[in-house]
Structure 1
Amino acid sequence: MLNSFSLEGKVAFITGAGRGIGATIAEGWAACGAHVACFDIDGEAAERTARTLRALDVKAIAIEGDVADPLSVGEAVDRTVRELGGPHIALNNAGIAHQSPAEDLEPADWRRMIEVNLNGVFFCAQAQARVMMRNGGGSIVNLASMSGRIVNRGLAQAHYNTAKAGVVHLTRCLAVEWARHGVRVNSLSPGYTMTPMTARPEVAGARAEWESQTPMGRMVRAEELVGPAVFLASGASSASTGTDLVADCGFTCW
């Protein structure tokens, strides 16, 4: 049964692979045997991740591009097919974060949030699924957030929360449409996660507050998202599609 968690020989396409959660899951998938296309708007960061993965004795390429640009996404998936094959599995992780009171939120900030965090997930999943359908199936994991289910206390981010809620429901819609083609689509929703962004000294006060509001008394570690991501990508979750898997140290229980 444990073999069902293997990603040996699979080709993965990961967005936002240059740093943070995307880079961590890329390394985790590679450790399970996957070859990886690292897609990021920061080409140098993507290449750093790819070098790390190649040291694990898998193939890895870096591709610079913007998830909000369907042409860029399509070209990246085509390059992945040419150089690595597949993709058989995908993680749509790229995203941005921003805070603003709703009454002061600039239209440009609203549009950019939706373009990257929601439209970008759709454009990537669409391009990935077209290839997977031709090849008999695959597994797509969309990175959502517990903020797609709740309104975060003390954070004015209606645009972010709305986009993440959209990712959760988009995942269900795509799962239903593509099930007959053998393409599974699930989402992974982290809670407050320790990344370079949340580890900055200036947010130490916020971190302490988040931890005090969490049953487990701490934030999620990025490496703790690897197991759920491997599960959703692998044959271990072969009966799961349209699922939103929450990993939040219990935050949404209260």
Structure 2
Amino acid sequence: MYLEKMRLDSRTAFITGGGRGIGLAAAEALFEAGAHVIISDINDALLEDGRAYLSEKGYMADTVRLDVTRPEDVAAAAEDTNRRFGAVDIMVANAGIAWPDTPGEEIADDNWRRLIDVDLNGVYWSCREFGKHMLTRGRGSIVTLGSISGLISNKPQRQAHYNSAKAAVHHLTKCLGGEWAERGVRVNCVAPTYVDTPMSNTSFDDPERMPIWMDFTPMRRVAKPDEIASTILFLASDASSAMTGTVVPVDCGYTIW
């Protein structure tokens, strides 16, 4: 009974930012549970690399080139994938960027707008457009990607733009989770710590930052993409059927202190 709740047989999942890192690990996790997965990304090369990786694992992913900052493109992707596959049952709003260590008084207007556009607006457009189809059918599961940076203010790097966007994603998740609960659509959020992905691991050799990050981390390590993907699978599946509007830290204990 309990393992069956994790199965996603006959379900279709769409993942933004699915070409590498957490998004790609999530695609592998959902495939392993029986779902058919469409990965999207803004970069054709990343999409091809992601599809090749999944193919080596025995999974045949469809791909969609998508800029999540363009709401009309997100709407078209949602319409097309729902038409082609009958229904998108799961949507993982994973696409994101980061520009850390910029003093708050020095963040350039364009950088602020760009980060908010990807990390907050892109998540909302994705939730809104795929959510519309789910609400019409009265079922669906959406997983957003937040961060411990939406729960705490990071140290020593200064990243008010990133932290603000992720905090807003957490609250967006709660708002949509509450609004859509009685209509059969669940919306939950994963809030990872520092994760060993291409976007983050270049900082792990930093002699100033890494010791501070580890001092705040009870487990004294960063997380791996598969550890985040496991939580995404749980939230996407019926194993979490009584959860909506929830922010789940996967942080090696970082937010304890």
Corresponding residue SS for 2:191: strand
Aligned partner of 1:213 in structure 2 is: 216
Aligned partner of 1:236 in structure 2 is: 239
Deviation of 1:55 after TM superposition, in Å, equals 5.0
Deviation of 1:109 after TM superposition, in Å, equals 0.9
Aligned partner of 1:180 in structure 2 is: 182
Provide the rounded CA distance (Å) in 2 between the counterparts of 1:37 and 1:188: 20
Q: Deviations over 1:93-121 (max 9, x none)?
A: 10010131111111111111111100110
Corresponding residue SS for 1:96: coil
Aligned partner of 2:199 in structure 1 is: 197
Percent identity over paired residues: 43
Q: 1:107 and 2:109 equivalent?
A: yes
Alignment of 1:1-254 (within 5 A): 1-56=2-57, 58-99=59-100, 100-200=102-202, 203-205=205-207, 206-254=209-257
Instruction: Provide the aligned C-alpha RMSD in A.
Output: 1.6
Q: Would you say the 8 A contact 2:156–2:212 is kept in 1?
A: no
Q: Would you say the 8 A contact 1:172–1:242 is kept in 2?
A: yes
Q: Look up the equivalent residue of 1:158 and give its one-letter code.
A: A
Q: TM-score, normalised by structure 2?
A: 0.94
130-139 or 167-176: bigger deviation: 130-139
Q: Look up the equivalent residue of 1:229 and give its one-letter code.
A: I
197-206 or 4-13: bigger deviation: 197-206
Q: TM-score, normalised by structure 1?
A: 0.95
Q: Look up the equivalent residue of 1:113 and give its one-letter code.
A: L
Provide the rounded CA distance (Å) in 2 between the counterparts of 1:92 and 1:39: 10
Provide the rounded CA distance (Å) in 1 between the counterparts of 2:240 and 2:203: 38
Q: Would you say the 8 A contact 1:142–1:185 is kept in 2?
A: yes
Q: Would you say the 8 A contact 1:35–1:84 is kept in 2?
A: no
Question: Which runs of no fewer than 5 residues in structure 1 stay unpaired?
Answer: none
Q: Would you say the 8 A contact 1:51–1:60 is kept in 2?
A: no
Q: How many residues align?
A: 254
Q: Deviations over 1:30-78 (max 9, x none)?
A: 1111111111101221233234334555552111111111011111112
Provide the rounded CA distance (Å) in 2 between the counterparts of 1:102 and 1:29: 38
Corresponding residue SS for 1:200: helix
Residues 245 and 202 (structure 1), Cα distance of their counterparts in 2 relative to 1, 3 Å cut: closer
